[in-house]
Amino acid sequence: MTRIGLLFERLKRENRKGLIAYLTAGDPTPARTPSLVHALERGGADLIELGVPFSDPIADGPVIQRAGERALQAGTSLRTVLDIACRIRETSQVPLLLFTYLNPVVRYGLDRLAEDAAAAGIDGCLLTDASVEEAEAYAAAMHRHNIDTVFLAAPTSTPRRLELVARYSTGFVYLVSRTGVTGERDSLSASVAPLVNSMREVTDLPLAVGFGISKPEHVAELGHQVEAVVVGSALVRIIEQHPGPELEQRLEEFTRSLKSGFGAQA
C-alpha cells in the first residue's frame, strides 16, 4: 500500500477528513517548491499534488496557466519535478501525487517514469488529459512500481464511464465538482452530490472532490460528503501574489484556515 492508501486508512480510523493541496512544481522556482510543500504540510495539508507544468494546459484556468508559465520559465521539466520530490522526501513522508498532462509522460517514457517516480518517493499519478480508454498500459506500468493511478470522474461521466474509472483507479477517485477548467468559484455546483452517490455505487475507494474550492465554507460544505477536498488555484494565487519571504507563512496560515472548514477534528 502507498502512503496515499495509508493516509486514507488513518483518516478513516481517526474519523477525519483530508485536505489535499495542489501547487505547480517549479513555481516560482524549483528550489523553492520543497519549502512551500513543507509550509502546506505545517498548515495541515494531508496530501500534496505536484503539478507538472505543460506548455498547453487545456484543462486549466488562468491562475494555473500562469503558474505553469512561471515554472517553465524557471526551467522546470518532469525530471525536475522528480528531483523536487526527492528533496521533499529528505524531510517529509507526506503523500505525493504527480499531477500531469500526458505529453511530458509520453516523452519521458511510461516505464521509465514509473521507475523513477517510485525512486523519488512519488505515491500516485494523475493524468489530466488521458481517458481511461487510453490508460491500460499506463496503469499497468504504474502499478508494477506500486504507484497509485488516480482518475478523474466528472458530472458529465456516464455510469459506464464511472465503472471504468473505478476499475482503473487506485488510492482514491478524484471527482471534478463541475464542468469547466480549474479555478476558484464563489459557489459550488449542486452536481457534486449526485456524482458522489453515483461513484459510491461503483467503488469503495475514498473520494476526493476538487475544482473551484477556495474557502473554508466550501471545505465545510463538501467535507461531510467525501473523504477529502482538493484546493489548488487559491493556493497558487497566493504564490503568484506573494513570492517574497513571507510566502511560506501565508501559505501555512491559509491552509490552516481551509482546514478549519472541517470543524473540530480529533
**How far is it, in rounded angstroms, from Cα 114 to Cα 132?**
18
**Binding flags for another protein, 139-168, as an x/- string (CB under 8 A):** ------------xxxxxxxx--x---x---
246 alpha-carbon distance from chain centroid: 24
Site track for another protein across 11-50, x = CB under 8 A: ----------------------------------------
Q: Report the run of H or E that residue 196 belongs to, with start and end.
A: helix 192-202
Compare residues 240 and 253 and give the one whose CB is closer to another protein: 240
User: Using the rule CB under 8 A, is 243 a contact of another protein?
Assistant: no
- Coil, strand or helix: which one is 47? strand
Tell me if residue 204 is catalytic: no
Note whether 247 and 27 are within 8 A (CB).
no
Q: Which of 27, 41, 60, 148 is catalytic?
A: 60
The H or E element spanning position 228 is: strand 228-231
Q: Which stretch binds another protein (CB under 8 A): 1-9, 56-64, 142-150, 252-260?
A: 56-64
Pick the piece of the chain touching another protein (CB under 8 A) from 39-47, 95-103, 193-201, 213-221. 95-103
The answer for 121, left when phi > 0, alpha when psi is -120 to 50, beta otherwise, is: left
Query: Any bridge partners for residue 24, and if so which?
Result: 51
Kindly list the catalytic residues. Answer: 49, 60
Q: What is the binding site for another protein (CB under 8 A)?
A: 54-59, 61, 65, 72, 77-79, 101-108, 128-131, 133-134, 151-158, 161, 165, 176, 179-181
